[in-house]
């Protein structure tokens, strides 16, 4: 049973105030940088979007799970959770998860198969993943966030390594083109994602650690220290990390943001 197994592993291994942490976020918020930095500490899990797309087929592919013939949906979800726990834990047993807001509803609907009953979503999550520190990573400037999303969507390039090489490319290179309507849609989506996270925190009586994109970008090590302290871990582990993801904003980003603000009357 996944619930008993996960609790047993955590209670017997972790030497911290928490068994896991969940980075609650939205696209283009700096979450890839934060995930990599926390993984580099060696003590704060290996956070990633283990449950990204709203489809079990994507979960099994991403996690390397082979469903047995005739396996029930619940059994497949349980196997995915166990695989995620294995991949997302550091040696001290701490598990890390990044959950993008668009992935939220599907993830919790499947979690309900494993931890069924009249539970709050927070209780259901902690029933499977143990004592959890919730981290809200957000970006104050929704226009810049929207520009970053649209540009990545068009060019196929989502992340660049510190040395300038492609880190995550999902399509062939293509020149970006300004589109005010699509930018507005992304701005609206980003505002909605933050509102939804904050409404959930209120409903679940969660006081998350709040991290701003600008603070993470300006002081990566200091941000990691904050998270380690919140987890009850030695903040000195942050001394060994360095950013492996390069910021991608350029003149195109700045021009699009200025044009959008001018068109929207938000200069």
Closest CA to 189 of 134, 136, 247, 150: 150
Which residues of 115-220 form beta strands (DSSP E)?
A: 132-138, 157-161, 166-169, 209-212
The pLDDT tens digits of the residues spanning 142-177 come to: 999 999 999 988 887 766 666 666 556 677 778 899
Range 85-97 average pLDDT: 97
Cα end-to-end distance, the chain, whole Å:
56
Q: Do 24 and 15 contact (CB within 8 A), yes or no?
A: no
Q: Cβ(135)–Cβ(211) under 8 Å?
A: yes
Confidence (pTM): 0.88
Angle between helices 220-231 and 31-41 (to 10 degrees): 60
146 DSSP assignment = H
Q: Is 63:57 a contact under the CB 8 Å cutoff? A: no
For the chain, domains (ranges, CATH) are 2-263 (3.40.50.300)
Residue 151's region, left for phi above 0, alpha for psi from -120 to 50, else beta, is: alpha
pLDDT at 12 over 80: no
What percent of the chain clears pLDDT 90, i.e. is strictly above it? 73
DSSP state at residue 101: G
Average pLDDT of the chain, as a whole number: 89
Q: What is the pLDDT of residues 202-247, one digit of tens each?
A: 999 999 999 999 999 999 999 999 999 999 999 999 998 987 676 7
Mean pLDDT calculated for residue range 84-102 = 97
């Amino acid at each position: 049973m996944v619930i008993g197994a996960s609790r047993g592993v955590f209670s017997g291994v972790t030497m911290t105030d928490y068994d896991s942490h969940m980075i609650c976020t939205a696209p283009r918020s700096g979450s890839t940088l934060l995930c990599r930095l926390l993984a580099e500490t060696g003590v704060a899990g290996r956070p990633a979007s283990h449950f990204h797309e709203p489809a079990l087929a994507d979960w099994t592919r991403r996690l390397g799970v082979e469903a047995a013939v005739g396996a029930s949906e619940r059994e497949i979800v349980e196997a995915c959770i166990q695989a995620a726990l294995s991949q997302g834990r550091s040696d001290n047993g701490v598990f890390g998860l990044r959950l993008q807001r668009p992935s939220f509803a599907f993830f919790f609907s499947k979690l309900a198969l494993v931890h069924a009953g009249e539970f709050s979503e927070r209780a259901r999550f902690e029933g499977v993943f143990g004592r959890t520190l919730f981290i809200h990573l957000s970006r104050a400037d929704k226009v810049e966030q929207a520009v970053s999303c649209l540009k990545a969507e068009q060019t196929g390039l989502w992340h660049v390594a510190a040395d300038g090489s492609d880190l995550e490319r999902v399509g062939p290179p293509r020149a970006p083109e300004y589109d005010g309507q699509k930018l507005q849609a992304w701005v609206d989506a980003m505002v909605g994602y933050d509102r939804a996270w904050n409404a959930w925190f209120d409903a679940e009586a969660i006081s998350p650690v709040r991290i701003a994109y600008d603070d993470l970008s300006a002081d990566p090590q200091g941000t990691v220290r904050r998270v380690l302290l919140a987890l009850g871990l030695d903040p000195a582990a942050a001394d060994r990390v360095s950013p492996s993801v390069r910021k991608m904003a350029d003149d195109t980003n700045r021009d699009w943001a200025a044009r959008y603000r001018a068109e929207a009357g938000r200069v």
